[in-house]
Structure 1
């Protein structure tokens, strides 16, 4: 069986052994990275492999799965000249978070905890709940008050216990971390645990395969905690290092204007969020990316900068229009899932190509007010 790679803290270098249930750096309580540098398989060798994200076995830090629900391999369709959409809402739990959740559940199955704990504004929680159900692992998901009732229903339907926290997304994360220090508890954090990022990176490996061994000029990605963007950056680096692509696409990070701490830091030329409180925030339709202080802020800013990309922000009004526009094209996504299209549909790309992810199904939250 493939041995598990160790984790390490990207801030202070602290090593965390592969068999640890710890979900964060024991020194600074920050997120972890994985000591894992795979070499992707050549394009021709992928023919005939399993039709899921596990077809990229060489790039995954875990062996063939026992808890797979067939996640990955979502369609790529054209939206407009030069812009395509990857339909990641067509996954088992209807969001891209399945890509990372299957990795967390598979890891937990290896470590055999007595309890799995996660925190989420909805989609990651439903994904972790589903894959824990598949693995027969007991699971509790901490969610902030105001989480969509449909997402709470989905979490409970999979047999997990939704624990509603009185407060925002950060309050839910704090409550989960406090509970996760108990003995025998595995913290299935889609933010702190690096295995999640090594699941989301398959989004780009699939693009590379579907586009015949190339990538678009621009990857437009919604960013709250940045798990899809950081996964994309991992995949791009792997493909480029292996000589399978000759150039790296620019990463365009999209935030909702009412909650855009990273976009503000970017505009100021900062390498990280300020030590004081982040910029003032307000409610937004894009609840899935409404993260005032993402723990991997420094890594996100660095990844965008190194790619030659930029940050974009979109208002709730633009999100409404983008959701309605996508629905008129036959694509019914939730409001957060529409933010990348909301950003790029008003950008002048010239001859450049771009791909946007449609990350969550519309039935999770319904249409935004004013879209009907």
Structure 2
């Protein structure tokens, strides 16, 4: 059986319910289901999508109808090792997904789940909130599933991203204020009966989509993992998905050790980094939000903060922060290497360039295409 469960209160809820968070503590759900080990040799004959890892994904009866062939993005070297060993830093090109960002990994899971609920007669509308990429992904996969979608975005979101969302047939609501105001407006819209809140933060189906990022690394490296996995963190959806995959691979006996998870935030908005380096298990007092080029990770109060901090510490990882100048430099550097990535998506490469060399083989994600926002001024 698959069920929602609150990691704090241990409250359970069936996954066909539209309750999008724990009714007791109002925190995000986790997902409880039985996964099985993936057979590495069997993968060679499987289809090129997230669903090749079906043993570790929650049951999805309409997966094939919703898929756009997402996943299996290239892993390319960025720097060579001084010892002649394989590249010491590699980049996974998740900006080559169907909607040009890694958010497709989670959105396809939400859309498949919403389609199941719709065909059971429980859902007639999907609502999402986003700074752009998640909303685009939900709109695209919602269109693929034939679902009516409403996407809330902050006022001032990139016109290119808005055009992309509307092109998929979703209705856009621009909300005055910051990212938190946008989330509040979307949640209010979920009060209407038959509305599924396709939240990439609160709904754990999204995390079980993003965990395929690490399964692909494991497959590409022949059943091994890199020594360090660097990920950008705002709401932490990629990091928490990666942590799920590391736990599963280790539990199923498919890897002996887990790589360190290194989380990256913009210096301008870095509440998790501050809490981590203070040794705290929760976020501290709210701090002012300053403008940043890495708008996709500019989240002042991520709802899964406790889980994020715990996941980084469990792997012996750390938090790094990057300045606006470092982001600009990293974006230009990647462009000169043939990789045009949006400013949020270059944060990890900026951090790796600025930090002392990380041990062993490090992988960074390039999360969103530069065509969505253009070059940082």
Task: Give the TM-score range, shorter chain.
Answer: over 0.9
Q: Does the alignment pair 1:331 with 2:376?
A: no
Q: Does the alignment pair 1:60 with 2:19?
A: no
Give 1:227's aligned residue. Answer: 237
Aligned length: 364
Q: Does the alignment pair 1:95 with 2:101?
A: yes
For each residue in 1:14-46, what CA deviation from the matched residue of structure 2 results, as whole angstroms up to 9, or x when unmatched?
A: 111121122211222211000124123121121
Q: Does the alignment pair 1:107 with 2:113?
A: yes
Q: CA deviation at 1:9?
A: 0.9
Asked whether the equivalents of residues 37 and 238 of structure 1 are also in contact (C-alpha less than 8 Å), the reply is no
Distance 1:351 1:237 in 2: 21
Distance 1:73 1:181 in 2: 37
Q: SS of 1:244's equivalent?
A: coil
Asked whether the equivalents of residues 228 and 359 of structure 2 are also in contact (C-alpha less than 8 Å), the reply is no
2:35 pairs, out of 6, 30, 38, with 38
Q: SS of 1:252's equivalent?
A: strand
| TM-score normalised according to structure 2 size | 0.95
Distance 2:376 2:205 in 1: 33
Give 1:257's aligned residue. Answer: 267
Distance 2:211 2:14 in 1: 23
Give 2:197's aligned residue. Answer: 187
Q: Does the alignment pair 1:23 with 2:16?
A: no
Asked whether the equivalents of residues 285 and 336 of structure 1 are also in contact (C-alpha less than 8 Å), the reply is yes
For each residue in 1:126-146, what CA deviation from the matched residue of structure 2 results, as whole angstroms up to 9, or x when unmatched?
A: 000000000110000011112
Asked whether the equivalents of residues 21 and 111 of structure 1 are also in contact (C-alpha less than 8 Å), the reply is no
Q: CA deviation at 1:230?
A: 0.2
The CA RMSD over aligned residues, in Å, is 1.0
Q: Which moved more, 1:350-359 or 1:244-253?
A: 350-359
Give 2:71's aligned residue. Answer: 72
Asked whether the equivalents of residues 221 and 356 of structure 1 are also in contact (C-alpha less than 8 Å), the reply is yes
5 Å matches for 1:1-372?
5-63=2-60, 64-81=63-80, 82-112=88-118, 113-274=123-284, 276=285, 278-349=286-357, 351-369=359-377
Q: Which moved more, 1:88-97 or 1:348-357?
A: 348-357
Distance 1:354 1:337 in 2: 16
Change (3 A) 1:32 1:350: closer
Q: CA deviation at 1:351?
A: 4.5
Distance 1:158 1:351 in 2: 43
Asked whether the equivalents of residues 21 and 186 of structure 1 are also in contact (C-alpha less than 8 Å), the reply is yes
Q: CA deviation at 1:50?
A: 0.4
Q: Which moved more, 1:29-38 or 1:232-241?
A: 29-38
Q: CA deviation at 1:188?
A: 0.2
Q: CA deviation at 1:47?
A: 1.4
Q: SS of 1:66's equivalent?
A: helix
Distance 1:284 1:351 in 2: 29
Distance 1:204 1:308 in 2: 17
| Unaligned runs of at least 5 residues, structure 2 | 81-87
